[in-house]
Amino acid sequence: MECVIITIGNEILSGKTIDSNSAYISRRLSSVGIHTKRIISIGDEKEEIEKVVRETLELTGFVITTGGLGPTRDDITKKTIAKVFGRKLIIDGDILRNVEERFKGFGYKKMPKINLSQAEIPEGAIAFPNKWGTAPGILVKEGNKFCIMLPGVPYEMEGLLDGYVIPYLEENLENRSFIVTRTIRTTGIAESSLAEMLEPFLVEVKNVEIAYLPSYTGVDIRLTAEGEDKKKITENIEKVEKIIIDKTGKFIYGYENEDLARVVFNILKERGLKLAVAESCTGGLICHRLTNIPGSSLILDRGVVVYSPLAKIDILKIPEDILEKYGTVSKETAVYMAENVRKLSSSDIGISTTGVAGPGTDEFNNPVGLVYIGYSDKNRTDFKELRLGKERIKVKERASQAALNLLRIKLND
């Protein structure tokens, strides 16, 4: 089955807003076997909406719109689509009560009159109540033509799509196929090496599509299978997943959208371990990533951003002769940093980064992108030498990822 997504709003056409809704909708619809044929953005203009909705309903029979469902004058999506289906707008009692409740919740004595229009839906349509705002989602069906209208505010749209639209489609679409996907996240290994390790074992796989998705902090492997028997395609995915875990398990840090910082946080928290971080080239990014996680104070004791050599000596007591002999960018300095930040803070584990983020080389003429990361716990120390490219911000991101990954590997040892 194919669909067209129409996002409605002048702010998209002017480039003020990037349309992220349609990518979300497209991904979610594909999970119930509906493929997107076109994505169209148009302005809040009656003739345009009418023309495009008519044409695309003709094209695929399944149209989903976002935007233009608010209570103000420029919100004309609902009225226009009702016209396309030749229906009049009527008040939906349930939705009206829902909107009134919301206004009470905000301390209004009475709902502002302008919002009465929020409770109107085309006659015979199905309304999905919006828990995150006032505009309901609306489904109009005629014969085998569907049109679903959702609000444009992303979290309202996502809530309605996930909470009502997808379950509705799962129940009501006949003969549809299922799409199951699984994303396996790896880091510390290049796309080509990963493929080389896996291909001999995956060459015979026919019913699961395997995609390598490299980014500068790792390679995601995405498995996709489509078919009418959900149980069977899930089993197929799991078979392939098992091969991948068997062969490349040590490079895998998580699944779907999991962040490496969160993975490390979970292990440290579970074991009651405290971490201290000494950052030079990553400039605070490791701490920033860890402290984005609620409860990070349970595992992060402290971090230091020792950006100058003096700071390394002052705060971390790195011996001056080490810095002079090996340079601030060296495995010796990285290990000292990790060890001393751990000891000085009485933490269980210390990690560190030192490198040349660029754009210039350092005083030892080390090349841009050379990075050392250090690890220390009470039994051992370790380090890793890396070349992470020429772009400052990417060097920082890659180095933060590599440091968290070294930590993950040591914790799993």
Name the minimum Å distance from CB 240 to its own copies.
19
Question: Any contact of residue 39 with its own copies (CB under 8 A)?
Answer: yes
Name the minimum Å distance from CB 59 to its own copies.
10
According to DSSP, the β-strands at 137-142 and 145-150 are antiparallel
Residue 349 to residue 188: CA distance in whole angstroms: 21
Residue type, position 132, single letter? W
Name the minimum Å distance from CB 246 to its own copies.
27
Q: Which is nearer to its own copies, 42 or 147 (CB)?
A: 42
Residue 280 to residue 353: CA distance in whole angstroms: 6
Q: Which is nearer to its own copies, 201 or 364 (CB)?
A: 364
Question: Any contact of residue 394 with its own copies (CB under 8 A)?
Answer: no
The residues, any chain, with a CB within 8 Å of residue 47's CB and separated by 6 or more, are none
x-marked contacts with its own copies along 330-369 as a string, rule CB under 8 A: --------------xxx----------xxxx---------
Question: Any contact of residue 302 with its own copies (CB under 8 A)?
Answer: yes
Residue 233 to residue 362: CA distance in whole angstroms: 53
Q: Which is nearer to its own copies, 87 or 302 (CB)?
A: 302
Torsion 274-277-282-287 (CA) sign: positive
What's the residue count for the chain?
413
Name the minimum Å distance from CB 151 to its own copies.
19
Q: Which long-range contacts (CB under 8 A, 24 or more apart) does 21-25 make?
A: 21/66, 21/152, 21/154, 21/157, 22/66, 24/154, 24/157, 24/158, 24/161, 25/64, 25/66, 25/150, 25/157, 25/161
Stretch that binds its own copies, among 105-113, 137-145, 260-268, 291-299 (CB under 8 A): 291-299
How far is CA 285 from its chain centroid? 18
Contact 375, 406 (CB under 8 A): yes
Residue 62 in 3-state DSSP? strand
Question: Any contact of residue 13 with its own copies (CB under 8 A)?
Answer: yes
Name the minimum Å distance from CB 363 to its own copies.
11
Q: CA–CA distance from 64 to each of 2, 22, 37, 126 (Å)? A: 11, 9, 12, 14
Ranges within 271-290 binding its own copies (CB under 8 A) = 277, 279, 282-288, 290
Question: Any contact of residue 305 with its own copies (CB under 8 A)?
Answer: yes
Q: Which is nearer to its own copies, 94 or 162 (CB)?
A: 162
Stretch that binds its own copies, among 40-48, 150-158, 244-252, 373-381 (CB under 8 A): 40-48
Torsion 377-385-399-335 (CA) sign: positive
Stretch that binds its own copies, among 108-116, 132-140, 294-302, 317-325 (CB under 8 A): 294-302
Question: Any contact of residue 259 with its own copies (CB under 8 A)?
Answer: no
Question: Any contact of residue 297 with its own copies (CB under 8 A)?
Answer: yes
Phi first, then psi: give them for residue 377, nearest 5 degrees: -130, -175
Question: Any contact of residue 183 with its own copies (CB under 8 A)?
Answer: no
Q: Angle between the 309-316 and 331-345 helix axes, to the nearest 10 degrees?
A: 40
Name the minimum Å distance from CB 23 to its own copies.
4
Question: Any contact of residue 296 with its own copies (CB under 8 A)?
Answer: yes
Q: Which is nearer to its own copies, 55 or 235 (CB)?
A: 55
What is the contact surface with its own copies in residues (CB under 8 A)?
12-20, 22-27, 30, 35-43, 48, 52, 213, 277, 279, 282-288, 290-292, 294, 296-297, 300-308, 310-311, 314-315, 344-346, 357-360, 392-393, 396
